[in-house]
Amino acid sequence: MINEQYFVTDGLFFIMHQTEGTPIEGYFDVFFEADSDIEVQYLGFRVLDFPLYSALDQDTEANMVPRSLFVKQSIYQNITGLRLSLGEDIILEIPLLITDTEYNVKSELDTYISTNDEVPSEAFGNVSFAPVIIIDVKDKVILNISIYIVAVSLFTIGLFTYQKKRLGKKEPTIGVKQDVAKLYEQDPKKR
């Protein structure tokens, strides 16, 4: 449904939590296999340094795998497997069965939006909500930058202002005086 403000579409979101084994480093391929030899390839990646992995379409940079990719001649082809591979090496194969009936959120959202003229703000039917997590670190960042600037400023001022000026304030040693005198005796014109 396309509303003035909202666009609802069916699809899958791939997220995997690794509970054991060596983490997968770098990028890898995620293949969604379906009936009628449909194979949809996405680029898999690790989420920061967490044992979480996701996938995105390299062309659109979208994380969602649209339902329409598994429709052939207006008939939905069941998703039968998921395969992770790194080059030619298969990392993991998971047999699946995702049928057309699994996509039930779009119709409920369309109905809710057309009935209420707004998006839902709480769970209903098959639609659930996770709590919103707001990470506001602006105050801490400003505080840390301010502390850094003050510390560097004080160090710089202390280094150049209060440092003892050593060059030229002390009398040269006898050895240095003798070396300078020898240089003048050798070629006084150059000095």
Enter the pTM of the model: 0.59
Residue 139 has pLDDT above 50, yes or no: yes
Domain spans, the chain: 11-116, 138-186
CB atoms within 10 A of CB 155: 10
Span 4-45, pLDDT tens digits: 677 778 888 889 999 998 888 889 999 999 988 889 999 999
Mention every residue, 6+ apart, whose C-beta is less than 8 A from residue 92: 82, 83, 84
Q: CA 17 → CA 40, 65, 100, 128, 187, distances in Å? A: 21, 18, 25, 20, 81
Q: What is the mean pLDDT of residues 93-97?
A: 92
Residue 169, pLDDT score? 62
Task: Give the pLDDT band of residue 190 (cuts 50, 70, 90).
Answer: low
Residue 17, pLDDT score? 92
User: Cβ(24)–Cβ(53) under 8 Å?
Assistant: yes
Residue 99 has pLDDT above 70, yes or no: yes
User: Cβ(69)–Cβ(26) under 8 Å?
Assistant: no
Q: What is the mean pLDDT of residues 148-171?
A: 78
List phi, psi (to 5°) of 171.
-70, 135
Residue 52, pLDDT score? 92
Residue 106 has pLDDT above 50, yes or no: yes
For the chain, the DSSP string reads -B-SS-B---EEE-EEE--SSPPPPS-EEEEEEETTTEEEEEEEEE-TTSSEEEEE-TTT---EEEGGGGEETTEEPPEEEEEEEETTEEEEEEEEEE-GGG--HHHHHHHHHHHHSS--SS-BTTB--PPP-----HHHHHHHHHHHHHHHHHHHHHHHHSS---TTTSPPPHHHHHHHHHHHHH-TTT-
Q: What is the CA radius of gyration of the chain?
A: 34
